[in-house]
């Protein structure tokens, strides 16, 4: 049975992040061991399709209604309307459909879930430093408003990702990132290098576009600290991914 971490993001939505599974039973040297649906980081196709079947069952959609883009740290967000668009180089999706499950894959980057339950519009985005810096949050919220969402109705959840303690960066990067994203650098202190708190950067960014902290739920789990999750920093880039899944429940 797959293990999941539920994300609290209001009503009429199912939202969760997948975990690798029972850690004591995982095959330690295999960086894909555990639950993985990501098709472009080197895992075996059979394993991926087994996991996808399981995920489709859990979310009660057909396997071909699991929408899993090839992410490239872009700020490209697509609206899933009647047609399902091409999902190459896509890092965010929004929809008002209730027969699709939107999925982003991450390993240390931020999976961000959006929900306007009043208007029945949901979204999900992959936000690493590049995406945050480029404006993936703004693009996703804009796409939701195009569908009819209202800013003051949007709730957000940030799933398991790298914590500030684990995210060590170069000095130049820290300064550049801070200049754009605001105060999210944890000062060096005892450390050799600065650390960046990407969660704080995302929450502040949401605040700037009008989504208050009280509407945002940030889970505490760190993908790098917590072995129940895949982590690119801990396991290498060629490894499985945490799937964060969003499905709207019921018609509005």
- Of 5-13, 91-99, 105-113, 216-224, the window that binds Zn ion (rule: CB under 5 A) is 216-224
- Of 88-96, 102-110, 214-222, 234-242, the window that binds Zn ion (rule: CB under 5 A) is 214-222
Among 151, 169, 186, 225, binds Zn ion (CB under 5 A): 225
Q: Tokens representing 214?
A: 């009280």
What residues contact 28, with CB distance under 8 A and at least 6 apart? Answer: none
Among 163, 202, 205, 242, binds Zn ion (CB under 5 A): 163
Using the minimum distance from each CB to Zn ion, give the nearer residue, 222 or 242: 222
CB of 232 to Zn ion, least distance (A): 13
CB of 182 to Zn ion, least distance (A): 21
| DSSP β-ladder status, 77-80 and 92-95 | parallel
What residues contact 181, with CB distance under 8 A and at least 6 apart? Answer: 132, 133, 201, 204, 205
CB of 235 to Zn ion, least distance (A): 14
Distances (CA, A) of 89 to 62, 67, 82, 104, 246: 23, 13, 20, 12, 19
Using the minimum distance from each CB to Zn ion, give the nearer residue, 54 or 221: 221
Using the minimum distance from each CB to Zn ion, give the nearer residue, 35 or 229: 229
| Number of CB atoms found within 10 A of residue 64's CB | 10
Residues 111 and 223: beta-carbon distance below 8 Å: no
Judged by CB under 5 A, the number of residues near Zn ion is: 5
Bridge partner residues of 17 (DSSP): 5, 244
Q: Which of 10, 4, 13, 12 is nearest to 246 (CA)?
A: 13
- Of 31-39, 41-49, 120-128, 223-231, the window that binds Zn ion (rule: CB under 5 A) is 223-231
DSSP letter for each residue of 9-57: --SSEEEEEE----GGGS-TT-TT-S----SSSS--HHHHHHHHHHHHH
224 sits near Zn ion (criterion: CB under 5 A): yes
113 sits near Zn ion (criterion: CB under 5 A): no
CA 150/CA 210 separation, integer angstroms: 10
222 sits near Zn ion (criterion: CB under 5 A): yes
166 sits near Zn ion (criterion: CB under 5 A): yes
Using the minimum distance from each CB to Zn ion, give the nearer residue, 147 or 161: 161
Distances (CA, A) of 4 to 41, 58, 64, 172: 21, 10, 21, 37
Using the minimum distance from each CB to Zn ion, give the nearer residue, 166 or 219: 166
Using the minimum distance from each CB to Zn ion, give the nearer residue, 102 or 163: 163
56 sits near Zn ion (criterion: CB under 5 A): no
Using the minimum distance from each CB to Zn ion, give the nearer residue, 98 or 168: 168
CB of 226 to Zn ion, least distance (A): 8
In the complex, which residues of this chain contact Zn ion (CB under 5 A)?
Answer: 163, 166, 222, 224-225
């Amino acid at each position: 049975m797959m293990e999941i971490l539920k994300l609290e993001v209001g009503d009429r939505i199912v939202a969760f992040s997948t975990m690798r599974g029972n850690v004591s039973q995982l095959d330690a040297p295999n960086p894909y061991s555990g639950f993985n649906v990501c098709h472009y980081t080197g895992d075996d196709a059979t394993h991926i399709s087994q996991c996808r079947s399981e995920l489709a069952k859990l979310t009660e959609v057909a396997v071909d209604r699991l929408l899993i883009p090839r992410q490239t740290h872009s700020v490209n967000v697509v609206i899933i309307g009647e047609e399902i668009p091409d999902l190459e180089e896509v890092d965010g999706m929004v929809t008002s459909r209730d027969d699709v499950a939107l999925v982003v894959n991450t390993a240390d980057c931020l999976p961000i879930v959006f929900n306007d339950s009043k208007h029945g519009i949901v979204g999900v985005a992959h936000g690493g430093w590049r995406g945050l810096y480029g404006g993936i949050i703004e693009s996703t919220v804009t796409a939701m408003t195009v569908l009819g969402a209202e800013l003051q109705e949007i709730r957000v959840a940030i799933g398991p990702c790298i914590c500030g303690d684990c995210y060590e960066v170069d000095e130049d990067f820290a300064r550049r990132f801070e200049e754009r994203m605001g105060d999210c650098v944890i000062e060096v202190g005892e450390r050799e290098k600065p650390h960046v708190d990407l969660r704080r950067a995302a929450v502040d960014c949401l605040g700037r576009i009008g989504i208050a902290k009280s509407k945002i739920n940030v889970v505490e789990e760190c993908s790098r600290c917590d072995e129940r999750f895949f982590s690119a920093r801990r396991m290498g880039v060629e490894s499985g991914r945490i799937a964060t899944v969003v499905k709207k429940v019921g018609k509005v």
